[in-house]
Structure formats: structure tokens, C-alpha cells
């Protein structure tokens, strides 16, 4: 083989290798690394509206710097420190189960636990009819019941409860930032699916974020 022919073959092989590498890089984009959040401020349901699109993600502020994350990339840890063994046995508290025990991420900030809530402050006022959005809990899988509620003066107001049938819906104002209690009736892995929708004030069209599933890991040790 002549030297010129060998140089052509080497050059051709090099080009083919480079092309193959480019195809691999295009076909296999880097994926966000999964994270587990254990304590600090987190807006589990973070809603934005921009360029005609309503979106739902998770805003992680556990380090003091806000980071928007895809719900699929996050596990929300509910440690044994969230366990309560003195849940009232009265009827208003029956949504937390009948065993007197529940794991609760509280509506007030507490060291060592996630301070979980939702945020619609990035939805411009007047965009949606009556300035309202509809939060929907459409599905829950897990070992027992899942609920979100507020409590004042020892009396709960249940906002979402997987134990009484789904879907559950809640009207939320644009521009809101709210924290609530997130309750789990037993240890284990829960997957809660939410969506957010609204009616555009300008056209009457209903727009939605689509379904997003959030993972909670509730531990007993």
C-alpha cells in the first residue's frame, strides 16, 4: 500500500470515529443527577407562566439558593423525626388514619425537616380568570394515606386527602406562597401526582401543566 493511500485510510477512519462520537453525544444527552432533600425550605409545587406556557416543577431552597428541579429528579425525605404518635382520635383528625401515628412535615419551619409548600408568585396577576389556578391531586401510590392540610387552634382544614377518593382540587391565587402540613399515615415510599390548570382571562382557554409525580420517602428508623 502506498503512503498516500494509507494516509487516506487513516484520515477516513478518523472522520468516521469523530462522526460516531458526535452521534453518541447527540443521542445520549446528560441527565440531571437525582437528589434527595431532607431539610429546609422547598416549594414542592412551583408554578410558572411564561411565553404562553404554564409549568410545574420543584423549587429547592434548602441551601439558601433557589434551584428549579424536575420532580422526577428529586426524592423528598420524611425522617423518623417527623413521626407523631399522639394524633388525636377525634373525627376531625380521622384523615390521618386510625392508629394514632402519622409522619408530618409541618406548616411551620422546623429544624431537621423539610418545610414544604407551594408557590405561584411567578404567575403574573390578571393572567388567569379570577386570578385563580386549580391544583389537582390526581393519584397517590404508597403504603397508606397521604394528605395536605392546615391547622389552626387545634382544628385541621383538609386540602387534599387520598383516603377519601381522588382527584382532589384546590383553588389557589396567583401570586401566592403557602406552606401547609404534609401527612403520611405509614412509613414507605409514596408517589403523589399533581397537575395545575387555569383559564386564561384573555381567551377563556384552559391551559395545564400536565401531570407531574413527586416521590416522598418516609422512614421509621
End-to-end CA distance of the chain: 71
The sign of the torsion formed by the CA atoms of 115, 120, 122, 125 equals negative
134, 207 Cβ separation under 8 angstroms: no
Indicate if the pLDDT at residue 155 is higher than 70.
Answer: yes
Between 7 and 82, residue with greater pLDDT? 82
In a 3-state reduction of DSSP, which class is residue 117? strand
In this prediction, residues 175-194 reach a mean pLDDT of 98
Tally Cβ neighbours within 10 Å of residue 8.
Answer: 12
Q: pLDDT per residue over 185-194, tens digit each?
A: 999 999 999 9
Q: pLDDT per residue over 96-112, tens digit each?
A: 987 899 999 999 999 99
Among 1-10, 54-63, 120-129, 165-174, the minimum mean pLDDT is found in 1-10
Predicted pLDDT at 31: 52
Among 26-40, 109-123, 147-161, 163-177, the minimum mean pLDDT is found in 26-40
Indicate if the pLDDT at residue 4 is higher than 90.
Answer: no
Indicate if the pLDDT at residue 81 is higher than 90.
Answer: yes
Give all strands (DSSP E) within the chain, no chain letters: 35-37, 40-50, 53-61, 67-69, 74-78, 83-84, 102-105, 114-122, 132-141, 146-152, 155-161, 168-173, 177-179, 181-184, 188-199, 206-208, 212-218
Among 11-20, 185-194, 210-219, the minimum mean pLDDT is found in 11-20
Amino acid at each position: 500500500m502506498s503512503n498516500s493511500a494509507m494516509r487516506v485510510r487513516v484520515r477516513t477512519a478518523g472522520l468516521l470515529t469523530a462522526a460516531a462520537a458526535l452521534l453518541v453525544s447527540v443521542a445520549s444527552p446528560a441527565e440531571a443527577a437525582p437528589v434527595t432533600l431532607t431539610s429546609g425550605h422547598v416549594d414542592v409545587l412551583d408554578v410558572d407562566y411564561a411565553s404562553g406556557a404554564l409549568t410545574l416543577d420543584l423549587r429547592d431552597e434548602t441551601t439558601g439558593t433557589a434551584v428549579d428541579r424536575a420532580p422526577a429528579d428529586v426524592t423528598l425525605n420524611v425522617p423518623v423525626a417527623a413521626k407523631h404518635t399522639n394524633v388525636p382520635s377525634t373525627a376531625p383528625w380521622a384523615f390521618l388514619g386510625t392508629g394514632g401515628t402519622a409522619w408530618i412535615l409541618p406548616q411551620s419551619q422546623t429544624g431537621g425537616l423539610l418545610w414544604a409548600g407551594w408557590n405561584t408568585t411567578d404567575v403574573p396577576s390578571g393572567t388567569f380568570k379570577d386570578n385563580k389556578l386549580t391544583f389537582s391531586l390526581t393519584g397517590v401510590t404508597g403504603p397508606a394515606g397521604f394528605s395536605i392540610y392546615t391547622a389552626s387552634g387545634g382544628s385541621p382544614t383538609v386540602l387534599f386527602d387520598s383516603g377519601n377518593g381522588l382527584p382532589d382540587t384546590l383553588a389557589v391565587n396567583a401570586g401566592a406562597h403557602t406552606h401547609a402540613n404534609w401527612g403520611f399515615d405509614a412509613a414507605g415510599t409514596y408517589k403523589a401526582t399533581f397537575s395545575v390548570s387555569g383559564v386564561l382571562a384573555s381567551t377563556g382557554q384552559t391551559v395545564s401543566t400536565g401531570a407531574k409525580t413527586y416521590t416522598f420517602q418516609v422512614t421509621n428508623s
